[in-house]
Each structure stands twice: as C-alpha cells, then as structure tokens.
Amino acid sequence: MKLLTHPTAALLLLAGLSANAQTGGRMPSAKEREAQVRLQVFLDSALFGPGKVDGLPGEFTTKAIVHYQMAHGLEPTGLPDSLSVPQDAPAYTEYTLKPDDRKFVGNLPSKPAEQAHLQYLPYDSFLEFLAERFHCSEGLLEHLNPSLKLDHLQIGDTLTVPAVDPFQIEDVRAIAQLPEKPEYKGRSIRIDRKERQLELREGDTLLASVPITPGSQSLPTPPGKWRIYGISTMPTFRWDEGVLNHGVRTDQFFMLPPGPNNPVGVVWCALNRAGIGIHGTNQPNTIGRAFSHGCMRVANWDVIRLVQKVTAGIPVVIE
C-alpha cells in the first residue's frame, strides 16, 4: 500500500496556503508560534517526526501530519484540524544547565585527523547540546530566550525549551550489537527517497515516520529489498575520503571515536549491503535538506527511538 495517496505537492500547497491565511504571509505571532510548537511536540511525541521543532509551518510538519492522519484512519489533508492535539498541553518547559552537562560539551576539532586523536566527539557548545536535547532549531531557542547570550551559556542558566521528551545523551551506552527482539520480527521499514521519509510498519499498520537525508545522484541510496544486519549504539566511524566522495575504499582513513558529533551520530543500523546503513547524524539541521554519501541519515533524537522499535533481520525496502 502506497502511503501518500494524495499528491504531496498539493498537500504542501494546501497547508502553505492555510498557514499564510492564518498569518497573512508574515512571521507568526508568539501565540501562533506557540500553537505550532505544540503541534510539532505532539507529532514528535508520537514518532511522526516533523523534523526539528521550530514553531514554523513547513514541509516536514505537513508530511508528519499526513502520516499521522493515515496511521489513525483520518483523511490525509495535511492540515491539523482533525488531530486531537491537547490544547492544555504545554508547548514549553524549562531546563537548567547542570554541572554534569559539561561532560558532553567540549573542544571539537574540525579536521578528521585531529578528531581521531580524541576519545569522544562532544557537542561543541551548550547551544548545540540543548538544540539536540530538545529536538529543536537553535533559532527557536534564540526566540524563546531573548535575554540570554546563547553563545555564552553557563552552568546554572535556565532556558525555555520545547516540551518534548528530551534526547538524553547521558543514557546512550556503547553497545556493539543490540540483542534481537523476536516480538518485532513482523515489522518492516520503507524508505521513500523522493519524499525523504522513513516509515516503520507492522503488516499494513503504520507505526512511525521520520524525515531522512538519502544519498545523492552520484552516491545514491541503493534501491531494493534489504534487511537490517545489525544495530550498534555509540559507534566509531571509519572516515575515508575515497568512500565518502567516490564510494571506493582506500588505505587513507581515520577511525573517529563515538559521541554526538560522530558523523554517523549515536546509532549505526547496518543493512545486508556493505557500507550502507540507517544512522544518526552530527548535522540534524541538514536532515531532508541535503544529501548523504549513500546511507540514510536520521536525527539522533529520532533514530535512538526508532531502533527501540525494530530488530535485526527485518526487511528494509528502499524505493
């Protein structure tokens, strides 16, 4: 069954017209932006990922609405009217930077040769740490905290943040091979490269969808029917310019240590196709808006939840 039975372009146009009608083509007011954040938090909590939470209407929020509607037997309009978003649910909460948070923030060299000498690839700022922890854009944090200098945050600073279930990097442990989960053997993943979406299904039931970054024309994500070979968390990464630029393995490479700024993020989900996998990223702002080197990039906050719902051996269909 094809998920998007309505033309996506038409859905995006319809949603865009609706958003423009509500705001008159201007930037949304604080109240309108809060309502949009509440919607994005609702979708994110159900693992129908709207991309980064930013309080603005956009392509991936619309796609998340469509997927959620179809998963729940609703007409896939791409408009939020039929969604039961609790209006008394908080859009925002507060977070105070703790001394332990400093463990995950530090100096991050830009060159792989220098990164390879580290034991861990941390966030390079508290702002990056907070944006990933709360699944949001740095721009939204700036909007919500105008009195703070976000490039000079300190332990003890309290910020307003989206009320998502936070991505807690401190809870992610390095596991070379996650154990198989027999109860998930009936599930499958579908990758839509054109729509830049990953769908998780159990039979005909859609369980989740998140935006992805697929490969480019020169290094495409390979279409076909594959399987998950194995799943690891906090992986190391073999950085090989020949592989990244030309798909050819060379002897000039660097082994990059684990951490949120590892190029494959905090999860590597290998397929039974050498060198190809579903993985996290150190650049969540590029999800759905750039190209990978053939793999499927997913935001760390999405992929860590996704692998809790799948197991090795299930099919991955790439279209």
Whole-angstrom CA distances from 73 to 77, 84, 87, 253 are 12, 13, 22, 49
Query: How many angstroms from the chain centroid is the CA of residue 14?
Result: 25
Tokens of residue 159, six digits = 């910020």
Length of the chain: 319
- Where does the chain hold its CATH 2.40.440.10 domain(s)? 182-318
Instruction: Bin 108: left if φ > 0, else alpha if -120 < ψ < 50, else beta.
Output: beta
The pLDDT value given to residue 297: 95
Question: What does CATH list as the number for 182-318?
Answer: 2.40.440.10
CB 116 within 8 A of CB 255: yes
pTM above 0.85, yes or no: yes
Map tokens 């003890």 to a residue: 156
- Where does the chain hold its CATH 3.10.350.10 domain(s)? 92-167
What is the pLDDT tens value at each position of the chain, 319 positions in all? 334 444 444 454 444 444 444 455 678 899 999 999 999 999 999 999 999 999 999 999 999 999 999 999 999 999 999 999 999 999 999 999 999 999 999 999 989 999 999 999 999 999 999 999 999 999 999 999 999 999 999 999 999 999 999 999 999 999 999 999 999 999 999 999 999 999 999 999 999 999 999 987 777 899 999 999 999 999 999 877 766 665 667 677 899 999 999 999 999 999 999 889 999 999 999 897 766 667 899 999 999 999 999 999 999 999 9
Q: Which CATH superfamily is domain 92-167 in?
A: LysM domain (3.10.350.10)
Residue 183, SS3? helix
The pLDDT value given to residue 25: 63
The span from the CA of 149 to the CA of 144, in Å, is 12
DSSP letters of 107-160? ---SSHHHHTT-S---BSSHHHHHHHHTTB-HHHHHHH-TTS-GGG--TT-EEE
The pLDDT value given to residue 68: 98
